[in-house]
Amino acid sequence: MAQISPSILACDFARLGEDVKDVCERGIDYLHIDIMDGAFVPNISFGPSVMKSLNKVATVPYDVHLMIEKPDRYIEEFVTDNTEFITVHYEACDDLKATLDHIHSCGVKAGVSIKPGTAPEVLDPYLADIDLILVMSVEPGFGGQKFMDSCLPKIRYFATAGQTQVAGLQQGDTPCNYLIEVDGGVGSANAHLVKEAGVDIIVAGSAVFKAADRSAEIASIKE
């Protein structure tokens, strides 16, 4: 069993409010908000004003995925009453610890994402400061891409690292307490792979919004 965070990147933007309202009534846990700057990734999505306008219809918390260079410039823009996680890319930060502290100082949980080419061990020094690890299973930038199964050993790595760290805690250590999320190319046909590997939250864009039966697709991804 996993939680689900549908990516609104796959919505029909001409009817964004209706699409968001619709999936919020079908048993989802979060809304995944993909922010792209045309620099860190070769695509531009939308900005904070679009996200904020959804506060009128969204009934689940936001899981904000910042695919932008130097994300510290924009953290405050994405803090709303609906924002639960703000996730930055390891590859986009000059001082990751400072960025995590910045996100926490805004009263929201801090996530870190790694691209398919980034080794999971790079996050070892930061694990106790991270609330959410977002493992990319496609190159960030576009929805509707093919799932890369190279994400599976990384999900297993983080699932094991969390357990090992908890088992080996010394007095005074800060325990790890992060959730593991996967993003890109996941739907009901392959969700079992990421769940077996130990994922907590599954992002699904095309699979949910383009499904003939969204409720069935959501239930099948989660179960």
* Stretch of 14-22, 50-58, 182-190, 212-220 lying at the interface with ligand DX5 (CB under 6 A): 182-190
Contact present, 20 and 8 (Cβ < 8 Å) = yes
**19, 37, 131, 183: which one is catalytic?**
183
- Measured from the CB atom, the residue of 63 and 131 that comes closer to ligand DX5 is 63
Tokens representing residue 111 in the block:
């996530």
CB 10 within 8 A of CB 46: no
Rounded to the nearest 5 degrees, what angle is found at the Cα of 175, between the Cα atoms of 170 and 181? 145
Q: In 15-129, at which residue ranges do the beta strands (DSSP E only) sit?
A: 31-36, 62-67, 83-89, 109-114
Q: What angle do CA 114, 104, 92 make, to 5 degrees?
A: 30
Q: How far apart are CA 107 and CA 195, in angstroms?
A: 29
Q: Which does 206 bind (CB under 5 to 8 A by kind): ligand DX5, Zn ion, none?
A: ligand DX5
Whether residue 1 contacts residue 202, with contact meaning beta carbons closer than 8 Å, is answered with no
Residue 11 contact among Zn ion, ligand DX5, none, beta carbon within 5 to 8 Å by kind: none
Q: Is 34 in the site for Zn ion (CB under 5 A)?
A: yes
Instruction: In angstroms, give the least distance from the CB of 136 to Zn ion.
Output: 8
User: Residues 88, 112: contact at Cβ < 8 Å?
Assistant: yes
The interface partner of residue 214, options being ligand DX5, Zn ion, none and the CB cut-off 5 to 8 Å by kind, is: none
Count of residues near ligand DX5 by CB under 6 A: 20
Q: Look up 183 and say whether it is catalytic.
A: yes
User: By CB under 5 A, what part of segment 176-195 binds Zn ion?
Assistant: 183
| Interface of this chain with ligand DX5, residues 74 to 103, rule: CB under 6 A | none
Quick one: which of 10, 40, 65, 83 contacts Zn ion (CB under 5 A)?
65
- Picked from Zn ion, ligand DX5, none, the partner binding residue 205 (CB below 5 to 8 A depending on kind) is ligand DX5
Per CB under 6 A, does 10 bind ligand DX5? yes
> Can you state the percent helix, strand and coil of the chain, rounding each to 5?
40, 20, 40
34 is catalytic: yes
CA angle, 35 then 117 then 198, to 5°: 80
Residues that bind ligand DX5 (CB under 6 A): 7, 9-10, 32, 34, 65, 138, 140-141, 143-145, 183-185, 203-207
Catalytic residue ranges: 34, 183
Q: Which residues bind Zn ion (CB under 5 A)?
A: 34, 65, 183
